[in-house]
Structure 1
């Protein structure tokens, strides 16, 4: 890109500073709203302050990553509109600098934010997502909490071609699941045996499972064989993650872990592959959106308008929420229909990338 000039450094500093301030302003608002909504449930459940503090740290990282395109878009529109209203952009362009050259510090800033978002999404956000979802899963009560619990319950998983598991609810902190069942079939799809347990607990040291209220029914040609024990320790050919609710398991894995997990689930013939692929592809599509939204924001807000900054912000908010709307819609379509996840995840970027090129050409004029 060449050496940064004083103007480049000025714009780049404003880019990064405004984005950081926007995050610091909106995240406390989100935390305040979340506390107001959940404070009664937290007090009823007597949740330790340490767990609450960790939850809101995870909450901050989780939602900052989720909403960063909106924050970035609005922050670029905000400070670029101020430059336009102060006729600073006119002065810069009048000095002989082209509009493309004027964009250089914006692209440099988008590169920094994009790389930061990519690294966050690969290494930090999965852990924060795990803590955020586990807290809600284990402590969320009340009507909305019950809806969340129902959403995260009744995990049904195909371990391989012949083995199936089911759990009613799952507690990640305790590494325990309730209402467990394990079904084994032969090559002709006839059941060989079925194991039921009131609860199943994973033992990290021994790397086995303890089943409480153990019952096993072995199917015989003439009669079935029944077996029951208060407790049974055994080894299964599945992992602890297989008991985790599918609604958020993919979000808690790093890039390498998620890739391996998808390969394993694909070999098992899992029906949730599309959901996992959506999470995988978004780790790359969200950082790329930083460039697209930056170009759109500059193109929209670089002209001085009669309505001032308010008009630019109104246009920016409308475009930002339209982007989020398309992102969510296509994500759901990928999970619930036959649309390829790669196409669904990247369609919003393609559409808004086309819009960015169109707006950029008009802005150059």
Structure 2
């Protein structure tokens, strides 16, 4: 059962976190508007699209900087408690530091559950709207940069493979197309075309410069045509998902998408796994950063709140630095994504244990 002190600390924990969000999000919006207003005016972006973009921006921004907001809010109000000698009074009454920490852990649990649900269901939709707006109105080549269109290789089924050297999303046309069908370890036939175009109305593909080579026991069978219509089991859009596709999917959709792309041999699979693992690692960071913040700010320092905030800002941005660097390393190197994503939490978890032991002394 929560005591008066528990309710007091928990209330301060949650209210300060909310106030921190309400303070920094408008600042982020103002900075973003100042950077992008010329581009918006140049492209004559409708006001309704701008309003919806900043709704998505608010959710996206809050989720992105959630660890920093939480950490600084705990540092802030705990330092005020320490400066007002409230922490000393609480501990002098016979309450242990571990017991003093309990309302903080309850607060971290509430915030982490909220962040987990947001990451599973709400943030993906916000991320989709946020990125669609950026690539539609703000990026250099707009929608042409939304997809990885060069040297696309995919495994369609267990025995079917496709390759195109370049894909134009606007015209739904791919160039230097090849399709390979295997029987076991042996090539059954291979289709190539200089150009292939998808027709949404008929659900058919038109191949130009068509060649089909069927492998025979004694000799191969060759079939050629200047133009040929056919049906495939895939859509060209599915072969080149938007570069931020993983961020726009809910948990169930993301797991299914990763399974499908792994079978297709997608080279970007590590990028998708980083997004998946971060959905779990970010909420866990609420507990780690809360313990660090309380351990650092619970004691009254000669420099007052300014010293605690300085230490907090350095630690918070160090955490974000680790998170970003190892996230990029997971995408671009051979480091397993799960190791890269959880490494900052492991390092700061050890730091949290060390600081907590010193604080108890």
Per the TM superposition, whether the score is higher than 0.5 is yes
Higher CA-based Rg: 2
Matching residue within 234, 237, 260 for 1:237: 234
Greater shift in the superposed pair: 270-279 or 67-76: 270-279
**Residue 338 of structure 1: aligned partner:** 334
Q: Say whether the 8 Å CA contact 1:209–1:233 is kept in structure 2.
A: no
Deviations 1:21-43, CA, capped at 9 Å, x for gaps: 11111111111111111111111
Q: Distance in 2 between matches of 1:23 and 1:149?
A: 34
**Residue 217 of structure 2: aligned partner:** none
Are 1:321 and 2:320 an aligned pair?
no
Shift of 1:334: 1.3
- Partner-residue secondary structure (3-state), 1:363: helix
Evaluate the alpha carbon distance shift between residue 38 and residue 169 of structure 1 in structure 2; reply closer, same or farther with a 3 A threshold. Answer: farther
**Residue 48 of structure 2: aligned partner:** 50
Q: Say whether the 8 Å CA contact 1:163–1:182 is kept in structure 2.
A: no
Number of matched pairs: 347
**Residue 301 of structure 1: aligned partner:** 297
**Residue 363 of structure 1: aligned partner:** 359
Q: Say whether the 8 Å CA contact 1:123–1:254 is kept in structure 2.
A: yes
Q: Distance in 1 between matches of 2:80 and 2:101?
A: 16
Q: Say whether the 8 Å CA contact 1:184–1:194 is kept in structure 2.
A: no
Q: Say whether the 8 Å CA contact 1:180–1:196 is kept in structure 2.
A: yes
RMSD across aligned positions (CA): 2.6
Are 1:9 and 2:2 an aligned pair?
no
Residue segments in structure 1 that go unaligned for 5+ positions in a row: none
Matching residue within 59, 65, 68 for 1:67: 65
TM-score normalised by the chain length of structure 2 = 0.87
Deviations 1:201-222, CA, capped at 9 Å, x for gaps: 757xxxx7476x8635224568
**Residue 154 of structure 1: aligned partner:** 149
**Residue 269 of structure 1: aligned partner:** 265
**Residue 218 of structure 1: aligned partner:** 211
Q: Say whether the 8 Å CA contact 1:137–1:152 is kept in structure 2.
A: no
Shift of 1:140: 1.6
TM-score normalised by the chain length of structure 1 = 0.86
Q: Distance in 2 between matches of 1:51 and 1:243?
A: 26
Evaluate the alpha carbon distance shift between residue 316 and residue 243 of structure 1 in structure 2; reply closer, same or farther with a 3 A threshold. Answer: same
Q: Say whether the 8 Å CA contact 1:202–1:240 is kept in structure 2.
A: no
Shift of 1:162: 3.3
**Residue 244 of structure 2: aligned partner:** 248
Residue segments in structure 2 that go unaligned for 5+ positions in a row: 214-219
Shift of 1:237: 2.4
**Residue 26 of structure 2: aligned partner:** 28
Deviations 1:180-220, CA, capped at 9 Å, x for gaps: 6642024366742337356x5757xxxx7476x86352245
Q: Say whether the 8 Å CA contact 1:159–1:238 is kept in structure 2.
A: no
Are 1:163 and 2:168 an aligned pair?
no
- Partner-residue secondary structure (3-state), 2:65: helix
Shift of 1:343: 1.2
Q: Distance in 2 between matches of 1:329 and 1:146?
A: 27
Shift of 1:159: 3.7
Deviations 1:299-319, CA, capped at 9 Å, x for gaps: 000011111111111111110
Shift of 1:243: 2.9
